[in-house]
Structure 1
Amino acid sequence: METSDVVISVIFMSQTVVGILGNSFLVYHYLMLYFMGCRLKFTDWILQHLIVANFLTLLCKGVPHIVSAFGWKDFFNDTECKLIFYLHRIGRGVSISSTCFLSVFQAITISPKTARWTQLKVKSHSSIASCVYMSWALSFLINIAFPIKMRAIQYNKNITHQRVYEHCSSVQHDKTTDIVSAIFLTLPDVLLMLLMIWSSSYMVFILYRHKQRMKHIHRSNFSFRSSPEFRVTKTIMLLVSTFVFFYTVSCVLQINIALGHNLTFLWVNMATVVIACFPTVSPFLVISR
């Protein structure tokens, strides 16, 4: 095994182990709260969906690379390749939608108590809950092409035009089809990220306006800065900024992979490492806050 392969294998193994431990701690935390009869906030409910998506992303990408690091190559059959890639894409889709809904809900929560925002706050729980469940359904539908086109490498040795993803491969089409497919898969992510950035910018504006108001108040029995809403808002903004960074890089790499021919394993491995960064880091961001 070459030095680069060893380094990539160590990175994958570290990401997977650390990420699974962090997300498992959050699962344990929420289970303890459940058995203690504590009432969870709505943001915690959305975070639970994010944890499930994190597990799908880490397990479907990290475990195969860990197994191959020990010298076991071409161990997937067609069915396993289809399932692994399908579940990974579903986890990735739910991860970005859950983070987006988390940001939108918190922006609505800390919004001013006007008549317009009050009505929206009342409806936000049911509306965003429906959107979270719908995001699962849409992820199942949007990524349905992956179980159709993915094949195991060992069964594709006689096919000339194929795109290889280390453990699995897919048949390459003409350039127009690849461009349309890349746009179709990337567009939902772009729209959700724009919504995420808008809601986060609005939260920054709310916090900045509050800070400006507090400059003129010398004594106050209550400060928004010490409130649970403020702490949750800072946590969500930290999650969103981390998410936007990693997934922007991921989208660029995924577009390159979708449009590229004669791919090298370096590009595929880079995309996989970046994709696994947020599921690995996000539970520790939540724990630290």
Structure 2
Amino acid sequence: MSSEEFVRGMLYLSLTVVGVPGNATIILAFLLLLHQENRLLPADVIVLHLACVNLLVVGVRCLLETLASFRLASIFGDVGCKAVIFVYRTSRSLSIWLTFVLSAYQCLSIAPPGSGWASARALVARYLGVVFFFLWLLNTSMSSAAILFSFGTKNDSSLTNHAINVQFCYVHFPSKLSKQINGAGQVGRDVVPMALMTLASLIILVFLYKHSHQVKGLRSSSGGGGGSGGAEQRAAKAVVALVTLYVVLYGVDNGLWVYTLTVKKTMTSSLISDLRIFFSSLYAALSPVVIIASNRKVNGRLRCVVQEKPVQQKATSLSTI
């Protein structure tokens, strides 16, 4: 094994070690909440769906890249490359769009009751299943090119400058135009939700800024402390943190993708593709850390599980006496 393969394997292993347990923990916490309360709030459903998609990103891409880098499994044949790249691109873009849906819903949540924005929030909550279905349909259809153009062969003589080297696979476009159209579609699919979620986050930040000044004014006039809406403010700050993390990491990812499309002979090296996959997968691995640290429902379920274990062990020991 070369040093390059070892470093690549260790990087993907680190994402796997962080991302798989993190996303699985969030999924488990919300499933426990659903079992106990028989319902989930719309924001909880969005976060749960986001965790499932992020788990798919880390599992399908980072875990398999780790196994292949350390030569523990041979996965990337023609069929394997088509399946992995298709599922990865679909789940990656779904992660982006679900982050936008979460930020937009949180933006609507801070609207005053009775306003038109509050009615829009109720409408989104009512048709959330339709929103999920539309996003799955949109992103699977836009990722279908991976099924046609992905190959596992490394016969460089059959490849042209229209091919993109992704280390264990090649994405071989039939022409320069098809490569540019596909690349522009992927960039547009990312930039649109990026712009919208950035706008939603700015609205949330403005609201939090005004709210903090109102609270300070009330405290100074009444001499008391405290204010309502603490849970909503914490949720809003968590969403802003997720969006900031997304914009930074996926901004780098899309910058590298544009470079891949504009520079000739990108198939000769997989370094750029490795960096793109790493930065785009980094969001799926790190976002659970933000959610676990900021979401009280997730924290509450995890604390209950941790506290129940000593009680169950104590009861078991008493029953054996």
Give TM-score scaled by structure 2 length.
0.83
Q: Of 274, 283, 287, which residue of structure 1 is paired with 2:288?
A: 283
Q: Is the 8 A contact 1:19 1:58 kept in 2?
A: yes
The correspondence of residues 262-277 of structure 1 with structure 2, limited to 5 A, is 262-263=265-266, 264-277=269-282
Q: Which residue of 1 aligns with 2:130?
A: 130
Q: Which residue of 1 aligns with 2:33?
A: 33
Matched to 1:250, the amino acid is D
Q: Which residue of 1 aligns with 2:60?
A: 60
The 2-side partners of 1:63 and 1:280 are apart by 12
Any stretches of 5+ residues in structure 2 without a counterpart? 295-321
Offset of 1:13 from its aligned partner? Answer: 0.6
Q: Which residue of 2 aligns with 1:83?
A: 83
1:255 aligns with 2:258: yes
The correspondence of residues 203-218 of structure 1 with structure 2, limited to 5 A, is 203-218=204-219
Describe the superposition over 1:43-90 as per-residue Cα deviations: whole angstroms up to 9, x where unpaired: 110011111211221122112321222236864222111110000011
Describe the superposition over 1:222-271 as per-residue Cα deviations: whole angstroms up to 9, x where unpaired: 6136x211111111111111111111111111222234432312111111
1:190 aligns with 2:228: no
Describe the superposition over 1:183-221 as per-residue Cα deviations: whole angstroms up to 9, x where unpaired: 112112111111100100000111111112122212467
User: Once structures 1 and 2 are overlaid, which stretch shifts more, 74-83 or 212-221?
Assistant: 212-221
Q: Which residue of 1 aligns with 2:304?
A: none
Q: Which residue of 1 aligns with 2:166?
A: 165
Matched to 1:244, the amino acid is V
Give TM-score scaled by structure 1 length.
0.91
Q: Is the 8 A contact 2:12 2:65 kept in 1?
A: yes
Aligned residues: CA RMSD: 2.1
The DSSP-based 3-state class of the residue aligned with 1:153 is: coil
The correspondence of residues 76-115 of structure 1 with structure 2, limited to 5 A, is 76-113=76-113, 115=115
Q: How many residue pairs get matched?
A: 287
Paired-residue identity, %: 22
